[in-house]
Amino acid sequence: MTGIVFDIKEFSLHDGPGPRVTVFLKGCPLRCLWCHNPEGLSPEPQLMIKHTLCGHCGRCLEKCDHEECKPFDRCIYACPNGLISISGVEYTAEKLAKKLMQNADFYIKNGGGLTVSGGEPLMQADFVCELFEKVKMHKAIQTSGFADEDTFKKVIDLCDFVMMDIKIADREEHKKYTGVYNDIILKNFEYLAKSGKEYIIRTPLIPNITDTEENLKKIQKIIKNSPWEKLPFNKMAGAKYPMVGLDFNLFKGDM
């Protein structure tokens, strides 16, 4: 079983209890306007180019015979300034687990562990399950909750801690800003709330979209006494869009 990973972040401080290592899995069924990890949207490996420092030497456009470069129109090893990379590395669960276990002693000793994030990690649910079986430390997930019920249950049951987003309570609004309806998310929330798992609900505070009084009130009503964390909007959210050739549309029109 292999998975596509677009980043591994050591020593993350905000991704669960204790210091964590966070694995970002590629691919997401949602298209939240404010997404700050645009390289996590597509499930396929893709090129990331830091254009600003490019000296236009053209070396990356010369033909190469690297296997890894074949899907792309450039050589990923040619840049003298190291500006080109592939976002999305294929790992077997075994190889990734082995890599993570190298530093596991630190995380275990300090009450931390592994967090899978994304993208939407549930899009690679089988990979996550296999990874979780092989990694012997505290396991957490950051998820939108958007996956069919069986998939959701299967993964959640293996987690020690769940961080699940409820971004927008209203069905139509949810569709408008994230691209999907929230029925399945709310259904999965019900399962989570009853599961006995330790969890926290998270809401990113997006100006005039999720941070309205109405939305927050409605969410409160849904999640009742669940632990709830409101995440301040990341002003740098748009920074990575040009690197993957996307536009950042959050403020388009109203700024």
Binding site for other proteins (CB under 8 A): 8-14, 18-19, 21, 59, 77-80, 82, 102-103, 106-107, 109-110, 112
Residue closer to other proteins by CB (options 83, 186) is: 83
Residue closer to other proteins by CB (options 112, 118) is: 112
Smallest distance, other proteins to C-beta of residue 66, A:
10
- Alpha helices by DSSP H, 91-201: 93-101, 104-109, 125-134, 149-156, 171-178, 183-195
Smallest distance, other proteins to C-beta of residue 172, A:
35
The CA-based dihedral angle spanning residues 222, 147, 108, 231, taken in that order and rounded to the nearest 10 degrees: -50
Smallest distance, other proteins to C-beta of residue 170, A:
31
Residue closer to other proteins by CB (options 20, 174) is: 20
Residue closer to other proteins by CB (options 109, 176) is: 109
Smallest distance, other proteins to C-beta of residue 208, A:
25
Residue closer to other proteins by CB (options 84, 185) is: 84
Residue closer to other proteins by CB (options 10, 172) is: 10
Question: How large is the greatest C-alpha to C-alpha distance in the chain, in angstroms?
Answer: 59
Q: How far is it, in rounded angstroms, from Cα 198 to Cα 23? A: 20
Smallest distance, other proteins to C-beta of residue 232, A:
11
Residue closer to other proteins by CB (options 4, 21) is: 21
Smallest distance, other proteins to C-beta of residue 185, A:
26
Residues 6+ apart with CB under 8 A from 223: 166, 189, 193, 201
Q: Indicate the DSSP class of residue 171.
A: H
Which long-range contacts does 187-195 make (Cβ < 8 Å, 24+ apart)? 187/149, 188/145, 188/146, 188/147, 188/149, 188/152, 188/164, 189/145, 189/164, 189/222, 189/223, 191/149, 191/152, 191/153, 191/156, 192/145, 192/156, 192/162, 192/164, 193/223, 193/224, 193/226, 195/156, 195/157
Is the CB of residue 46 less than 8 Å from the CB of residue 86? yes
Is the CB of residue 118 less than 8 Å from the CB of residue 27? yes
Smallest distance, other proteins to C-beta of residue 75, A:
9
